Structure 1
Amino acid sequence: MLKQWRSPLLLLTLCSLLLTACGPGGQREVIAATSTGQPLTLTDFTGRELSFPGIPKHIVALGSGEADIILALGGALVGRPTSTGTTPVKGTEEIMQVGSAHEVDLEKIAYLKADAVLGNAQLNAKDIPALEGVGAQLVLTQAHSVTDITRQILLFGQMLNKEQQAQQIISGIEAEVQSAAAASTRQKPRVLLVYGAPGTYMAALPNSLGGNILELAGGVNIAADYPALQSYPQYATLNTERIVEANPQFILIMTHGNAAEVQQGFEQEMRQNAAWSSLDAVVHNRVSVLPAELFGTNPGTRVTESLQMLITLFSNLELQ
């Protein structure tokens, strides 16, 4: 029987597996899955079933929220979205920039030997063939609500074999949402939530992430029943007549770009129409640009900060 153990390579391999099995429980499961060749199977938000040979080790995120979640779960992020006038997600400053969901840098993703690319369900479905061509699987999700963000956290937790950590993060977010509902302001402030870029301004609807956070924080979205834009169904065209009629107490602006430039442009548009000057928000100087990292994009696990910021802002109305 001893003759079966003559191969040094075989002996070394088996010893290595035995030693690995003695490690921490979570690590043992990861190595067992990868060493036996059992594929990891996931279903993304579009219903696509994806298979990986093991836990992805070279992950690229095309959005800030996805990057934040991967880091929070302890994943191996090798590529992050390009910063355009905003601060990179904390902890990603030295990670290579690979474009964004709007414009993917395929060459850099190939260079990084990405095995998983986290993209946007609406924007990146067209990029599936190209990314598969460089050996990467495209995991498509979206973040139009706080619930979507918790679904992202759960999915990425499954992908990284970090489901327990994912559940802990989700529990924290859900606790914040429940606390917000309990502490919601008695006076529901009327709010116009605008998504802005220089020369382009749209009203955020309740089915947008910003709109969902607004309602969870106790605000009333005055554009809730505006007709959605066909190309951007989470937003609507600004309707000056209806805005004046609703008389918002806050005008809050979200942006990806230069916040000061966007605010200046929006204020100039308001000055061109005298009707805006009578709005409560304008009279009481409650027109402001929200932090881009919390509202201009998916904030990932920091969505609780977004929610708390609006709760604090709205509570100040009661003190005035």
Structure 2
Amino acid sequence: MRRCQITALVMVLMMIAAGCGQTASKSAKETSEGSVHIQDFAGRDITFDKVPEKIVALSNGDMSIVYALGGEVVGRPSAELPSSLKKAEHAKQIGTTHQMDLEQITSLKPDVVLGNKQLNEKDISSIEGIGSKLVLTQANSVKDIQKQITLFGKMLNKPAQAKKLNNQIDQKIASLKGSSKGIRTLVVYGAPGTYMAALPNSLSGNLLELVGGKNIAADAPAIEQFPQYAQINTENVIRSDPDLILLMTHGNAEEVKKGFLNEMEQNPAWNDVKAVKEGRIEILPNDLFGTNPGAAVIDALDYLEKK
């Protein structure tokens, strides 16, 4: 009799254990089904337990993609907002890709921080240390921006919106084909005292190529620390005789233009360059060219197409 009781007890315990096992298995399955798996531009596999809701963006470009996909941010760059992103005014300012404010980011308790592969890879441990995930991307071409859109679409569970946005970019690029003007152009990235020529493997160089412009610095050797740019060789510029010189900057555009003109004045040979003689030295809009324009890349193409 006692043996039967023990056997019955064992069977009950086994049934309870099996039930718990099924519950645990079901719970694990539900968690897995609600999770989001992505791979960022640094090749890092990142998993979220659920679709991220509290988002911090370190650049306007990343932020513009989030809003274009129907999302919003709780933390934004400490920089002037372009008119297209005024809806993000309420978000807390958290520094930039160059110098983020970890204290402010920590106070927001974000699910994810969107950063730059080159500039923020060093910040992975700091962001993970506050319990958040850091997703790294970069934008050296329109294709990179489209990859960002696809990645953020997957992360935010907005694949249809991402596909629609990428289709719009593809349609814009397709409309540019066959309308090449072949304008010889020098694209200059400037900061006070520093001027570099944009190469075809830079975002601005790629944009110029897509609208049919001819980059006179295309064959110039890249700077080791900044492989998307080259030192400006005055002799080569004069020899190439560009029709147009475009200036882009992160800082005060007029100050950069003034400094660039002062540099040219020190070498009278610049006066023989067609763009200088005709006064075709123009400043590119900061929000479209001084940084990654994100979803506004179509506007950047529109702007260059009219040059």
Task: Tell me, yes or no, whether TM beats 0.5.
Answer: yes
**Structure 1 position 91, deviation (Å):** 1.9
- 1:112 equivalent in structure 2: 108
1:221 to 210, 215, 220: 215
1:141 to 131, 137, 143: 137
**Structure 1 position 85, deviation (Å):** 9.4
The answer to whether the 8 A contact 1:60-1:117 is kept is yes
Deviations 1:59-81 (A, max 9, x none): 01111110000011112311111
- 1:198 equivalent in structure 2: 192
2:204 corresponds to which letter in structure 1? G
**Structure 1 position 184, deviation (Å):** 2.5
Distance in 2 between the 1:39 and 1:157 partners? 14
- 1:294 equivalent in structure 2: 288
Deviations 1:221-278 (A, max 9, x none): 0000111011111001110010000000000001011111111111111111101111
Say whether 1:94 aligns with 2:90.
yes
The answer to whether the 8 A contact 1:86-1:292 is kept is no
Distance in 2 between the 1:267 and 1:92 partners? 36
Which structure 2 residues correspond to residues 237-256 of structure 1 after superposition, within 5 A? 237-256=231-250
Task: Say if 1:88 and 1:104 are closer, same or farther in 2 by CA, change over 3 A.
Answer: farther
The answer to whether the 8 A contact 2:31-2:49 is kept is no
- 1:160 equivalent in structure 2: 156
- 1:284 equivalent in structure 2: 278
Which structure 2 residue ranges, 5 or more long, are not aligned?
1-28
3-state DSSP of counterpart to 1:173: helix
Distance in 1 between the 2:35 and 2:82 partners? 37
1:49 corresponds to which letter in structure 2? D
Distance in 2 between the 1:279 and 1:41 partners? 53
1:248 corresponds to which letter in structure 2? P
The answer to whether the 8 A contact 1:37-1:53 is kept is no
Deviations 1:177-228 (A, max 9, x none): 111113322xx11000000011111000000000000010110000001110
The answer to whether the 8 A contact 1:82-1:98 is kept is yes
- Counting matched residue pairs gives 279
Task: Say if 1:87 and 1:238 are closer, same or farther in 2 by CA, change over 3 A.
Answer: farther
The answer to whether the 8 A contact 2:72-2:88 is kept is no
Which structure 1 residue ranges, 5 or more long, are not aligned?
1-32, 314-320
Task: Say if 1:249 and 1:298 are closer, same or farther in 2 by CA, change over 3 A.
Answer: same
Distance in 2 between the 1:88 and 1:262 partners? 25
Distance in 2 between the 1:239 and 1:34 partners? 60
Distance in 2 between the 1:201 and 1:208 partners? 15
Pairwise CA RMSD = 1.6
- 1:305 equivalent in structure 2: 299
The TM-score normalised by the length of structure 1 is: 0.84
The answer to whether the 8 A contact 1:184-1:311 is kept is no
Say whether 1:259 aligns with 2:257.
no
- 1:121 equivalent in structure 2: 117
1:260 corresponds to which letter in structure 2? E
3-state DSSP of counterpart to 1:90: helix
1:279 corresponds to which letter in structure 2? V
- 2:58 equivalent in structure 1: 62
Say whether 1:233 aligns with 2:218.
no
